[in-house]
Structure 1
Amino acid sequence: MLKIDGINLYYDGIHALKDISLEVKKGEIVTLIGSNGAGKTSTLRAISGLEKYKSGSITFKGTEINKVPVHKVVGLGLSHVPEGRKIFGNLTVLENLELGAYLRKDKKGIKEDMDNIFEKFPRLKERIKQQAGTLSGGEQQMLAIGRALMNRPEMLVLDEPSMGLAPIIIKEIFNIIVEINKAGTTILLVEQNANMALSIADRAYVLETGKIVIQGNAKDLLSDDSIRSAYLGE
């Protein structure tokens, strides 16, 4: 579904991504793990068209991303939940969700998806008319995921969904991610909490200073001593 082949990305002469290649197959949960500054967010931003890469290619369902205007990438069926959530704080919960469906015209389907999101995230329904900026961190993360789902994406790209959240909320968010995947949405997950990420993923890639240094079955990496000491704090 998604194929990255040898991309190189620079920021003001700094070589941020170095010949990155990875693949996400339909129906998988794939995670990118690594320390801060390893290039995880840059990889996701390149996928969404938010960062232009110098060489290599990224194809989503056979279409090269860099040949598609940024605002049309969503229309291909790819939704990105960015680091820091980036919800519209001055708009209500309902208005944020409606914006997630801005490309759609099927009113009945939009209503069904809205109901499904409120079923997944009951707290959002309770706060439907509340300004999004007044929500807790966990509720804002739920809203950011809900807004992305309103596009009915075939693939959901998540950047640090657990950042700044309490452990009980993190568990809830990760349960929802698994549920979304089981319902048919492919997931690419960037996550600082490597333990949680590897525990739900099918496959994983480890990034270090802009390079992929390890890849493999997520459960195998979870039990790998070198991974555990480097990324799981053990």
Structure 2
Amino acid sequence: METMLKVDDINVYYGAIHAIKGISLEVNKGEIVTLIGANGAGKSTTLRTISGLLKPKTGTITFEDEVISGTAAHKIVEVGVSQVPEGRRVFSNMTVMENLEMGAYIRNDKSQIKLDLDKVFHHFPRLAERKKQEAGTLSGGEQQMLAMGRALMSAPRLLLLDEPSMGLAPLLIKEIFEIIKDINKEGTTVLLVEQNANMALSIANRAYVLETGQISLSGDAKELAASEEVRKAYLGG
């Protein structure tokens, strides 16, 4: 399999706190890979470092054979990596449509942008119904859909999802995860950080388990979901 993203022995600090301790992981082209672990294990920090919001003190991050660690976040979007941040963070006083257009700000291929917009509305019909509505007036689930749609508008080859199920009702979580599967089937590789380990493992190809800034387990998602250790710690088993 072709490696798309390679994180090699990164160490990340928040001030004096050593948040990420020598993490290495890989995401192959076409996969859904998930990072699971307790709150504060370093999952979001890992994603934020990949997307350029944080800089590793040591170690390298390579995307499609290009070193991106230390590159500015907007440049990382330009090479094809887009993050859906935790807590959605939509532009609340802009309309749904304006939010989606913001997602495509790095592009000037007008006709392809139009096709991608149609694709977003196909995945998220509710956004099409509400395209003139201010994003701040949407429900939590709709805001999550908008944040995902906005990230897709940059035409990423790798989509980073940070806690997409956070604060959503179970039915909506199911819907969001179905959409993640569809987006992946259409050719976007996905790296998913998720508290809901059951859901994450059910759609992922492979998984890494993070504990206090280190990877404690990794492997095939189905095998990890069946493992005693993971069931006890993360699946309420």
Q: Shorter-chain TM-score: which interval?
A: over 0.9
Q: Match for 2:232 among 214, 229, 232? A: 229
- 4+ runs deviating over 3 angstroms: none
The alignment-based identity, stated in percent, is 67
SS at match of 1:162: coil
Query: Could you say what the CA RMSD is over the residues aligned between the two structures, in angstroms?
Result: 0.7
* Distance change (3 Å), C-alpha of 1:42 and 1:67: closer
Q: Which residue of 2 aligns with 1:194?
A: 197
Q: Which residue of 1 aligns with 2:207?
A: 204
Greater shift in the superposed pair: 152-161 or 112-121: 112-121
Instruction: Give, as a single letter, the amino acid of the residue that structure 1 aligns with 2:223.
Output: D
- Residue-by-residue CA offset, 1:102-158 (whole Å, 9 max, x unaligned): 011111111111111111111101110000011000000000000000011101000
The offset of 1:67, in angstroms, is 4.3
Q: Match for 2:31 among 28, 33, 38? A: 28
The offset of 1:69, in angstroms, is 2.2
SS at match of 2:171: helix
SS at match of 2:128: helix
Q: Match for 1:91 among 86, 89, 94? A: 94
The offset of 1:49, in angstroms, is 0.7
Structure 1 residue 130 corresponds to structure 2 residue 124 = no
Q: 1:161 & 1:28 partners in 2: Cα distance?
A: 17
Q: Which residue of 2 aligns with 1:61?
A: 64
Residues 1-234 of structure 1: pairs in structure 2 closer than 5 A: 1-234=4-237
- Extract unaligned runs of 5+ from structure 2: none
Q: 2:36 & 2:178 partners in 1: Cα distance?
A: 19
Q: 2:73 & 2:235 partners in 1: Cα distance?
A: 35
Instruction: Give, as a single letter, the amino acid of the residue that structure 2 aligns with 1:224.
Output: S
Q: 2:153 & 2:76 partners in 1: Cα distance?
A: 15
Q: 1:70 & 1:115 partners in 2: Cα distance?
A: 27
**TM-score, normalised relative to structure 1:** 0.99
Instruction: Give, as a single letter, the amino acid of the residue that structure 1 aligns with 2:74.
Output: H
Q: 2:159 & 2:198 partners in 1: Cα distance?
A: 20
Greater shift in the superposed pair: 19-28 or 113-122: 113-122
Q: 2:9 & 2:152 partners in 1: Cα distance?
A: 29
SS at match of 2:26: strand
Q: 2:195 & 2:73 partners in 1: Cα distance?
A: 26
SS at match of 1:187: strand
Instruction: Give, as a single letter, the amino acid of the residue that structure 1 aligns with 2:86.
Output: E
Q: 2:184 & 2:129 partners in 1: Cα distance?
A: 25
Instruction: Give, as a single letter, the amino acid of the residue that structure 1 aligns with 2:159.
Output: L
Q: How many residues align?
A: 234
Greater shift in the superposed pair: 109-118 or 64-73: 64-73
Greater shift in the superposed pair: 111-120 or 142-151: 111-120
The offset of 1:91, in angstroms, is 0.3
